[in-house]
Amino acid sequence: MRLLEPVQLAAATARNRVLFGPHETNLGRRREVTGRHVAYYLARARGGAGTIVVETASVHPSDWPYERAPLASAAADGWAAVARACHDEGALVLASLGHAGSQGSSAYSQLPLWAPSRVPDVATREVPKSMEPEDIDAVVAGFAEATRLAVAAGCDGVEVNAGQHSLVRQFLSGLTNHRQDEYGADRLRFAREVLQAVRGDAAGAVVGLRLSCDELAPWAGITPDAAGQILAELSGYVDYVAVVRGSIYTVSATRPDSHTAPGFNLDLTRQVRAALPAGVAVVVQGSIVEVAMAEGAVAGGVADLVEMTRAQIADPDLVGKVQSGSPEQVRPCVLCNQTCQVRDGRNPVVSCIGEPSSGHETEDEPVAGTAALPQRVLVVGAGPAGLEAARVAALRGHRVRVVDRAPQPGGAVLAAAAGSGRDRLARLVEWLRAECVRLGVRLEVGAEAGDGDLAAHDGPVLLCTGSRDGRRDYAVDDGADVRTARAALTEPQALPPGPVVIWDPIGGPIGISLAELLAPQRSVTLVTQDLIVGTQLARSGDLADASTRLLQAGVVLHKRAKLRQVTATGVVVEDAYTGEKREIDAAVVVDAGQRLPEDTLWRTHPELPRAGDAVAPRTVYEAVLEGRRAALALDGGVS
């Protein structure tokens, strides 16, 4: 397999061509690279990654883009610890160096943002300060000093960030560089000075460049052709180029979710590579989450290395599993962006819905290991909580039986996966099922476990019974047709003809993806009490794109409206602010609101442990996490 062959980067040799890209983790403290970072990267190095690029560190204190962003001058000890740990496992370690410029935040630094020109940031609306010559010199010197520190700390080299969130890109781009001086007349000048300084201080170590090669804003931004010209000038300073895309206007395009097809940068990378001299290696990335696609990119000459970032957040052992001939055992990244997208006000630690130990390596009990006392375990419910509980229990040597009354495993995830653009979610269920089968779990679907089964079972029982329909806090007239989102997603063809109203008091992916699913065929109105539809999608980065898709699909958005009554011919909604009432025609109403725990068995057996929606209906992440904890607790490990 070409993907597993070594590749030369300057004087260093990466043992294979799989790279773990730089990304925000929120594992930092006091702007340092911490022990939690070390454990996070070590898990990927141990799992076989060839090259690890550490989370971007700011090269100058004028840059503090998010609270837990590392600062190069505070990162040396952490870099050294990461390098030691990952080198012991055979991986290369590169330090990503950057400055977010106008895409940063003044909230932490309490200083004005630095940028080439006074172009307000699209997201924060903040007007930055146009950098003065001494500011420019200070940042260039910061890149040089950070390079010295990283190399002295034992890193194999550095990667300069000129990607989506970067000052270097802001200087290269006509969108953000309106300067009248020599840095505007020659927009490459700043990048050239940075790379010259970095190369000069790298002492023969690897120098990489992460470059936005298509800002998706052709009126003034970097286009693929322009990227070729930029690289023709700058490639002499670098050993590799990581091709990325996106600009201030298209943040979500940089690391989109499952609504964008995997491998979206393959053509761009092919084009950029053609403009590069042979000695410069090329890294392709962009939702490459399948080994076959990664192998195809290398074997097909698109790139020399493949960045698989989210794929290795989902499975730190991805490379090792491929090496040992079991690629089917790789836990899939389903491109949901639900818990690996961490740039939000809550400062969550990076994690994964399928692998909740990601980001929590120092705290979570390892799943691997053997139970001191193997037992017969009965798991009731084959949703994500039940399947993960069964998988982990079986892995640890228990004999496990899973019973679910539904005809197939998957629980609520199967319905969620039926939503528009969400079908990849089913891959996680399929993986859990396949792993259970491989580990000898007895899976009985279409079979209901009752009190009798529980009484007859000799061993621990875990209740992973999922959720049931939620409460309706609106009146339902005789003859009104109200269904749950779960039913509508599972059997959209069973909905009666005529206009559909979706009541979405949550603003998450369920109501939105259902509206998208139904809209091509019929009239759909989405009703929410919020001022913006899909508010919760901001966390996964899909909010703006979802609004675009809904409007383009012709979904009527009825905002700031509370559902009060469903009649035989429609709904009555009430303006959340003015109290004004209004009727909307509907042949059927779909309720995409909160659900309640399915706790029938638990009510008669309150002594039994529960996990996931059976405790409180939430997301796949909590279901998998709690299913895993329940299985580990069988050994007394976690309570």
Residue in the block written with tokens 């074997």: 299
Burial zone of 619 (CB within 10 Å; 0-12 exposed, 13-18 middle, 19+ buried): buried
Residue 98 CB, shortest distance to ligand FMN, in Å, is 7
Q: Which stretch binds ligand FMN (CB under 6 A): 80-88, 126-134, 307-315, 598-606?
A: 307-315
Residue 181 CB, shortest distance to ligand FMN, in Å, is 28
Torsion sign, CA atoms 16, 18, 23, 27: negative
Residues 6 or more apart whose CB falls under 8 angstroms from that of 473 comprise: none
* Dihedrals phi, psi of 164, to nearest 5 degrees: -60, -45
- Comparison of 207 and 561: residue with beta carbon closer to ligand FMN: 207
| Window 458 to 497, contacts with ligand FMN (CB under 6 A) | none
Q: Pick from 285, 357, 420, 619 the residue near ligand FMN by CB under 6 A.
A: 285
Q: Indicate whether 165 belongs to the interface with ligand FMN (CB under 6 A).
A: yes
* Dihedrals phi, psi of 8, to nearest 5 degrees: -90, 130
- Comparison of 160 and 623: residue with beta carbon closer to ligand FMN: 160
Residue 342 CB, shortest distance to ligand FMN, in Å, is 5
Residue 96 CB, shortest distance to ligand FMN, in Å, is 7
Asked if 227 contacts 233 with a C-beta cutoff of 8 angstroms, the reply is no
Here's the x/- map for ligand FMN, 55-94, by CB under 6 A: it reads as -x--------------------------------------
Looking at this protein, which amino acid is placed at residue 119? V
Q: Which stretch binds ligand FMN (CB under 6 A): 10-18, 20-28, 216-224, 595-603?
A: 20-28
- Comparison of 68 and 165: residue with beta carbon closer to ligand FMN: 165
DSSP assigned state of 89: T
**CB contact burial 412-432 (16+ within 10 A = b; e otherwise):** bbbbbbbbbbbebbbbbbebb
Residue 20 CB, shortest distance to ligand FMN, in Å, is 9
Asked if 243 contacts 528 with a C-beta cutoff of 8 angstroms, the reply is no
Q: Indicate whether 308 belongs to the interface with ligand FMN (CB under 6 A).
A: yes
Q: Pick from 22, 316, 359, 508 the residue near ligand FMN by CB under 6 A.
A: 22
Does residue 67 come out as left (phi exceeding 0), alpha (psi in the -120 to 50 range) or beta?
Answer: alpha
Residue 487 CB, shortest distance to ligand FMN, in Å, is 34
Residue 306 CB, shortest distance to ligand FMN, in Å, is 8
Residue in the block written with tokens 């891959």: 427
Instruction: Please provide the DSSP assignment of 29-54 as one string.
Output: BTTB--HHHHHHHHHHHHTT-SEEEE
- Comparison of 298 and 631: residue with beta carbon closer to ligand FMN: 298
End-to-end CA, the chain: 43
- Comparison of 431 and 474: residue with beta carbon closer to ligand FMN: 431
CA–CA dist 137, 139 (Å, integer)? 6
Residue 309 CB, shortest distance to ligand FMN, in Å, is 3
Asked if 510 contacts 518 with a C-beta cutoff of 8 angstroms, the reply is no
Q: Pick from 310, 321, 396, 422 the residue near ligand FMN by CB under 6 A.
A: 310
Residue in the block written with tokens 């990461």: 82
Token pair, residue 379, equals 């798991």
Nearest to 449 by CA among 411, 405, 391, 408: 405
Q: Which stretch binds ligand FMN (CB under 6 A): 125-133, 161-169, 441-449, 560-568?
A: 161-169
Q: Pick from 54, 155, 340, 566 the residue near ligand FMN by CB under 6 A.
A: 340
Nearest to 28 by CA among 52, 61, 54, 49: 54
Distances (CA, A) of 264 to 220, 257, 403: 22, 11, 40
Q: Indicate whether 24 belongs to the interface with ligand FMN (CB under 6 A).
A: yes
Q: Indicate whether 307 belongs to the interface with ligand FMN (CB under 6 A).
A: yes
E strand residue ranges, 215-351: 240-244, 281-284, 305-307
Q: Indicate whether 269 belongs to the interface with ligand FMN (CB under 6 A).
A: no
Here's the x/- map for ligand FMN, 115-154, by CB under 6 A: it reads as ----------------------------------------
- Comparison of 231 and 402: residue with beta carbon closer to ligand FMN: 231
Q: Pick from 161, 269, 358, 420 the residue near ligand FMN by CB under 6 A.
A: 161
- 573 - beta bridge partners? 563, 582
Where helices occur in 159-287 by DSSP H, the ranges are 167-172, 182-185, 189-201, 224-234, 266-274
- Comparison of 536 and 567: residue with beta carbon closer to ligand FMN: 536
Q: Indicate whether 350 belongs to the interface with ligand FMN (CB under 6 A).
A: yes
Q: Pick from 50, 104, 163, 593 the residue near ligand FMN by CB under 6 A.
A: 163
Q: Which stretch binds ligand FMN (CB under 6 A): 21-29, 174-182, 413-421, 514-522?
A: 21-29
Asked if 96 contacts 58 with a C-beta cutoff of 8 angstroms, the reply is no
Q: What is the dihedral of CA 97, 100, 106, 111, to 10 degrees?
A: 70
| Window 209 to 268, contacts with ligand FMN (CB under 6 A) | 210, 244, 255
Q: Which stretch binds ligand FMN (CB under 6 A): 245-253, 334-342, 451-459, 504-512?
A: 334-342
Residues 6 or more apart whose CB falls under 8 angstroms from that of 578 comprise: none
Q: Pick from 9, 27, 342, 634 the residue near ligand FMN by CB under 6 A.
A: 342
Q: Which stretch binds ligand FMN (CB under 6 A): 117-125, 309-317, 403-411, 467-475?
A: 309-317
By CB under 6 A, how many residues form the interface with ligand FMN? Answer: 24
Q: Pick from 23, 398, 401, 422 the residue near ligand FMN by CB under 6 A.
A: 23
* Dihedrals phi, psi of 225, to nearest 5 degrees: -65, -45
CA–CA dist 278, 634 (Å, integer)? 56
| Window 176 to 215, contacts with ligand FMN (CB under 6 A) | 210
- Comparison of 215 and 574: residue with beta carbon closer to ligand FMN: 215
Q: Indicate whether 101 belongs to the interface with ligand FMN (CB under 6 A).
A: no
Asked if 282 contacts 241 with a C-beta cutoff of 8 angstroms, the reply is yes
| Contacts with ligand FMN, residue ranges (CB under 6 A) | 21-24, 56, 161, 163, 165, 210, 244, 255, 285-288, 307-311, 340-342, 350
